[in-house]
Amino acid sequence: MTARAAPLTGLLAWRNLIEYARRPLNLVLLVTVPVVFVALSAGALADFSRLLGAEASAGQLETVTAGWAAAFLAGVAGFFHVSGSRDADRRLAAAGSATSRVVTARLTSSLLLAAAAATGALLALVWRTDVTDLPRAIGATAMFAVIYLGIGAAIGGLIRSEFNGSLLLIFFWMLDVFLGPGMGPSDSTLTRFFPTHFPTLVMFDASATHAGPLGDLGASLVWTLGGLALAFVVLVITTRPVRTSNTRGVNSSWVRLKTGLRYAWREYRRNVALWALLVVVPLIFISLSFAITPADPTPVELAEGGQRTLSMLSLIDVHGAVMVSITVAFLAGLAGLFVVLGSAEADRRLVIAGFRTREVLVSRLGVIALASVLVSVVSLAVTTISFTPRVWVTFTLATFAIALTYAMIGVVIGPLVGRLGGLYLMFLLPFIDLGLAQNIMFDAAPPAWASWLPGYGAVRVLVDGAFTPTFDETSGLLIALAWLIGIVAVAVVAFHRIAARRT
């Protein structure tokens, strides 16, 4: 890079950061996510890791949560930083700026965001626990962040759909975390090919022999530099001008409603990657939850005959039932978020063209409900392979209630905070609610504060259907229905505001 080009690249990088910071919530969540993920849940995640057979000590397992949080934040920030600026960067390149300069500026600003993510995760870790080897934790967390920054930026350059791209990124991250040495044995052949396998071993100060002559640190640096190189090559190839195409626009109420449903369905039916991910993610994660969990007994509070008692249940069955609720909540929430945001401008044009707002509303919410049902059906089908609930009807209805509730939460959150903030929140909310508060793997009964969260009632019904032969959770059912009806009403109001004509 020439001396003259360097200041221009720096200026572009600075403007990219200003563009990112225009939504203050992005910066707030860049701090909030590590606090929740590391400071509040490190102990629970460490306990969970030990249940699954992780070989590291409790302190090491808590330390690695900083790397996980930094990787998630940096990957998502890199993805949206690239995906949201694809057209602008192509115009810059077409206007005479060197493509390599535009890409370098974009990656430079992304690296600063990754540094902020790693810093937030480390501060939360230091606040949460005593770190015995701080330099090692800092170096390993930085590698986690840079590796996933490269992966997120590369996905942002290759995949146009923000829903598909973000879901693919999170799916990859969850596999990496779920199957890595932080959650299980460190010598697994399969996990050696995951991006953060060796950085995790560096953080654990484990001396694995399968890294070859490079050693764990050398292999980690190869992954770190390789992630950045991958992102650079992908962005150079994809940063080019593109042609735009025009679309066209129809006219009786029932006819318009059918037309809206048909075209909304056609739009998402053609999105093969979307449906593949909605099927593959439950298939893999629920299957893995059964496969990697030891058959140890665990206490669970159950209601039977009007009495609440502690029962010892298989940890495998408990983990499988819990994973169903987490999976459907996360995927349905993302579907609600991205469907409503991805169609906002098109829905306004439909209203201007003569469609009633309620007709557009039914069309979009119909697609969101369909996605929620699909995720639930796939999750329940996978569950039947290894686990049979005592009452299928109760278990199924509770699963649908969780999926639809979080889908509507996604509809509400999207217009308030945008795509990036919405993705952060739709990761945090199911994690806090279903992954921690309602998770009967950690506590036999949920803590008192869990009753204020959206999943409380539905999870009580789900657990009742999973492990008892009679229905005893009337209060849980009423709470679940109240949440579902209330959030649907809020979603309808939010959607009406999005689709309303603007003068």
What φ, ψ does residue 294 adopt, rounded to 5°? -70, 155
Q: Does 332 lie in the same domain as 434?
A: yes
Altogether, the residues listed in the chain come to a count of: 503
What φ, ψ does residue 298 adopt, rounded to 5°? -145, 145
Last residue of a domain, one of 238, 273, 297: 238
What pLDDT is attached to residue 18? 59
Name which of 235-239, 252-256, 480-484 the model is least confident about: 252-256
Q: Does 160 lie in the same domain as 16?
A: yes
What pLDDT is attached to residue 407? 93
pLDDT at residue 58 tops 70 = no
pLDDT at residue 248 tops 70 = no
Q: Does 246 map to a domain?
A: no
Q: How many domains does the chain have?
A: 2
Q: Does 35 lie in the same domain as 176?
A: yes
Q: 3-class DSSP state for residue 311?
A: strand
Q: Does 310 map to a domain?
A: yes
Q: Does 320 map to a domain?
A: yes
pLDDT at residue 279 tops 80 = no
Q: Does 310 lie in the same domain as 450?
A: yes
Query: Does 483 or 301 have the greater pLDDT score?
Result: 483
Q: Does 217 lie in the same domain as 296?
A: no
Q: Does 258 map to a domain?
A: yes
Contact by Cβ (8 Å): 106, 41: no
- How far is 484 from 472, CA to CA, in rounded Å? 20
Q: Does 184 lie in the same domain as 297?
A: no
Mean pLDDT computed over every residue of the chain: 79
Q: Does 245 map to a domain?
A: no
Query: Does 350 or 421 have the greater pLDDT score?
Result: 421
Q: Does 268 map to a domain?
A: yes
Mean pLDDT of 228-236: 89
Q: Does 258 lie in the same domain as 232?
A: no
Mean pLDDT of 342-349: 64
Q: Does 151 lie in the same domain as 47?
A: yes
What pTM, to 2 d.p., does this model score?
0.74
- How far is 71 from 193, CA to CA, in rounded Å? 16
- How far is 244 from 253, CA to CA, in rounded Å? 32
pLDDT at residue 10 tops 70 = no
Q: Does 224 map to a domain?
A: yes
What pLDDT is attached to residue 354? 64
Q: What are the pLDDT digits (tens) for 352-390?
A: 666 676 667 777 788 888 888 988 998 999 888 888 899
Query: Does 127 or 478 have the greater pLDDT score?
Result: 478
Q: Does 457 lie in the same domain as 308?
A: yes
- Domain span including residue 69: 5-238
Mean pLDDT of 126-144: 86
Contact by Cβ (8 Å): 139, 260: no
Last residue of a domain, one of 174, 204, 238: 238
Grade residue 273 by pLDDT with cuts at 50, 70 and 90. Answer: low
Last residue of a domain, one of 190, 211, 238: 238
- How far is 177 from 67, CA to CA, in rounded Å? 10
Q: Does 489 lie in the same domain as 405?
A: yes
As given in the structure block, the two tokens for residue 234 are: 């992908």
Q: Does 248 map to a domain?
A: no
Which residues lie closer than 8 Å to 475 by C-beta, 6 or more apart? 457, 460
Cα distances (angstroms) measured from residue 435 to each of 135, 323, 325, 329, 441: 31, 8, 9, 10, 9
As given in the structure block, the two tokens for residue 158 are: 């290759």
DSSP character string of 71-98: HHHHHHHHHHHHHTTHHHHHHHHHTT--
Q: Does 465 lie in the same domain as 359?
A: yes
Q: Does 311 lie in the same domain as 389?
A: yes
